[in-house]
Amino acid sequence: MSVIPHLINGELVTENGRAVDVFNPSTGQAIHKLPLATRETIQHAIDAAKAAFPAWRNTPPAKRAQVMFRFKQLLEQNEARISQLISEEHGKTLEDAAGELKRGIENVEFACAAPEILKGEYSRNVGPNIDAWSDFQPLGVVAGITPFNFPAMVPLWMYPLAIVCGNCFILKPSERDPSSTLLIAQLLIEAGLPKGVLSVVHGDKTAVDALIEAPEVKALSFVGSTPIAEYIYAEGTKRGKRVQALGGAKNHAVLMPDADLDNAVSALMGAAYGSCGERCMAISVAVCVGDQVADALVAKLVPQIKALKIGAGTSCGLDMGPLVTGQARDKVSGYVDDGVAAGATLVVDGRGLSIPGNEEGFFLGGCLFDNVTPEMRIYKEEIFGPVLCVVRVNSLEEAMKLINDHEYGNGTCIFTRDGEAARLFCDEIEVGMVGVNVPLPVPVAYHSFGGWKRSLFGDLHAYGPDGVRFYTRRKAITQRWPQRASHEASQFAFPSL
C-alpha cells in the first residue's frame, strides 16, 4: 500500500508515526496510507513559508500572475488524471469530478488578474501639496483547511488568490481524499512557484491546532462543518488571526404554483442527488406552496429517483457514486431511520443498496421524504447525503419564514414565473446565496462565496473580491513635499482643508 507524502518547501516528505488509511469508497478497500503531521512537521512548513515570504512579496504581481497562467494550462492538461484521483478517493462520478476541477480553474483565472485586482487607489492634492494613496499588502504566512467533498475546487478557492496577493500558503486538506489535492499543488510548483510559497501537510486536529496556535500564521480559511468552523473562528480570532470559516447548510428550494415543474424537477434531481448529496450547496428541502404542487412534484420525482444510475464513480455515464466512507453512509441511513420514526412519509427508500461487483462499497440510493415538518431532525440538521425532504406550506410568506427561521443560511432558490414573487424572495430572504430558477447558485469566481447566520463565521466571503480583501491589508499613505521657499507655522488644531 503506497504512502501519500507531505509537500514541504518543494519536496515530498514522509514521516513515521501516526497514520490513517485512505479508502476507495466504491470498493470499500484501503488503497493508501496517509501520515498525520506532528507539530514539528507543521512548524517545518511554517518555517519554509516564513523564509520564502520576503522574496515572494517583492515579486511583481505580473510575475506572480505568469505562474498562475502556466498553472492553469497544467491543470487543463491533467484534467483526466486529476478527475480519476478524485473519483477513486471521494467516490463522485468522473463527470462530476471534472466539473469540480473546472470551477476550481475559474478561480485560477481570476488570480491571473493579479496586476488589476491589486491596484491601489490614488488621490492627488487632497490638501496643499499633499497626495494620498492606498495599496493592498500581503499578510505573510496564511493557511487553509479544506473538506473532503471538493478536494480540488475548495483548495483552489484559497491558495491561488492568497499566493498572487503575495502570501505564502500552508494547506491542510482532508485526510479522506488527499491525492488529487497533492497532485494539483505539485503542478503549481511545476509551473514555477518558488519553494516554500505553498506547502501541503496532512493531518487531523493536531495539525489544525498547530496552525491555529502558531503566531507566524496570520490568517486561516476553513470550509467544513459548523461546529468545527465555530471552533476555528473562536480559537483563531482569540489569537488575533484573521479567520473566514464556512460551515454547514440546509438549503431550501421553494416551488411556487406557477413554476415550470418539469424543469424544476430536473434541477432538483441534480441539486439533491448530484455528488450523492455531499455538497454544502445541495438542495435538501423542497418547500412546496400548496398541496397540488407537492403532489405533482412527488409524482414526478419518484420515477426519476428510482431510475438513478448508481455505481463505482470511476465508471462512465453514472448519476451517482458512493458516499465517501462507511461511517458517512451509516450516518445518512440513520437519518432515514429517524425520519421514519418521526412520522415523515418515506416515498423512496435507498437503504440497503448493493452494487454487483462492488458489494463492499459505501453505497446508498436516493431517498425521498414527504410530509416533513420543521420540528423533525431530518429537517433541522444537515444530512449531507442523497436525501430530499418535501415540506408543504400554504404561501410564499410561510415558505420564507420557514427559511429565515432556520439556523443555517448558506444557499436557497425559488422556482417561479412571477417576477414580483422572485424579487420579494431575493429581497427578504435571509440567506447568503440565492437562485431564481437556478438550484445551485454558486457564485462565479469574480464574485464571492459565502452564507449567512451559522453558515459563515467571519466578515469576508471566500474567493473573488472578498478573497482579495481577506488575504491583504490596506495601507493608506499620505505624502507631502513642502515648497522650499515657504515656511509654515505649527498647527495645533486637527488638520483639515
Category of 355 on φ-ψ map: left (φ > 0), alpha (ψ -120 to 50) or beta? beta
Active site residue 280: yes
pLDDT of residue 495: 72
Q: Which three cell numbers stand for residue 44?
A: 517545518
Distance separating alpha carbons of residues 232 and 329, to the nearest angstrom: 26
State the pLDDT confidence band at 299, using cuts at 50, 70 and 90: very high
pLDDT digits (tens, 9 = 90+) for 262-298: 999 999 999 999 999 999 999 999 999 999 999 999 9
Q: Which three cell numbers stand for residue 244?
A: 473566514
State the catalytic residue, choosing from 165, 168, 276, 280. 280
* Residue 209, pLDDT above cutoff 90: yes
Distance separating alpha carbons of residues 272 and 282, to the nearest angstrom: 5
Co-location of 201 and 309 in the same domain: no
Query: Residues of the chain with pLDDT > 90: what percent?
Result: 93
Decide if 494 is inside a domain. Answer: no
Co-location of 48 and 193 in the same domain: yes
Compute how many other C-beta atoms are within 10 angstroms of the C-beta atom of residue 421: 18
pLDDT of residue 69: 98
Closest CA to 366 of 308, 443, 316, 324: 308
Q: Return the percent helix, strand and coil in the chain, to nearest 5.
A: 40, 25, 35
Co-location of 465 and 427 in the same domain: no
Rg of the chain on CA atoms, in Å: 25
pLDDT of residue 301: 98
Co-location of 201 and 320 in the same domain: no
CA atoms within 13 A on the CB side of 314: 16
End-to-end CA gap in the chain: 72
The total number of residues written for the chain in this structure: 497
The answer to whether 198 touches 169, Cβ cutoff 8 Å, is yes
Co-location of 319 and 294 in the same domain: yes
pTM of the model: 0.94
In order, the DSSP letters of 228-252 are HHHHHHHHHHHTT-EEEEE----EE
Co-location of 172 and 94 in the same domain: yes
Q: Which residues of 101-112 are buried (b: 16+ CB within 10 A; e: fewer)?
A: bebbbbbbebbb
Co-location of 270 and 352 in the same domain: yes
pLDDT digits (tens, 9 = 90+) for 14-56: 988 999 999 999 999 999 999 999 999 999 999 999 999 999 9
65 vs 48, 108, 118, 248, 470, CA distance in Å? 22, 9, 11, 33, 18
The answer to whether 103 touches 443, Cβ cutoff 8 Å, is no
Segment 113-120 shows an average pLDDT of 94
pLDDT of residue 316: 85
Q: Where are the alpha helices (DSSP H) in 11-113?
A: 39-57, 61-77, 79-90, 94-111
Which amino acid makes up residue 306?
K
pLDDT of residue 97: 97
Closest CA to 276 of 20, 25, 21: 25
Which single residue is written with the C-alpha cell 449567512? Answer: 452
Distance separating alpha carbons of residues 51 and 45, to the nearest angstrom: 10
pLDDT of residue 497: 64
Identify the burial level of 492 via C-beta atoms within 10 angstroms of its C-beta, where 0-12 means exposed, 13-18 middle and 19 or more buried.
exposed
Decide if 489 is inside a domain. Answer: no
Distance separating alpha carbons of residues 356 and 441, to the nearest angstrom: 36
State the pLDDT confidence band at 167, using cuts at 50, 70 and 90: very high
Co-location of 237 and 301 in the same domain: no
The boundaries of the domain holding residue 97 are 2-247+455-477
State the pLDDT confidence band at 481, using cuts at 50, 70 and 90: confident
State the pLDDT confidence band at 494, using cuts at 50, 70 and 90: confident
The answer to whether 430 touches 408, Cβ cutoff 8 Å, is no
Give all strands of the β-sheet with 411-415 in edge-to-edge order: 345-348, 367-370, 387-393, 283-289, 251-255, 411-415, 433-436
Decide if 55 is inside a domain. Answer: yes
Co-location of 13 and 138 in the same domain: yes
* Residue 488, pLDDT above cutoff 80: no
Segment 388-401 shows an average pLDDT of 98
Specify the 3-state DSSP secondary structure of 312. coil
Average pLDDT, the chain: 96
pLDDT of residue 485: 63
* Residue 490, pLDDT above cutoff 90: no
pLDDT of residue 491: 75
State the pLDDT confidence band at 402, using cuts at 50, 70 and 90: very high
The answer to whether 92 touches 177, Cβ cutoff 8 Å, is no
Segment 77-86 shows an average pLDDT of 98
Co-location of 220 and 255 in the same domain: no
Co-location of 30 and 143 in the same domain: yes
pLDDT digits (tens, 9 = 90+) for 455-477: 999 999 999 999 999 999 999 99
pLDDT digits (tens, 9 = 90+) for 342-375: 999 999 999 999 999 999 999 999 999 999 999 9
Co-location of 408 and 460 in the same domain: no
**Domain boundary pick from 386, 408, 436:** 436
DSSP 274: G
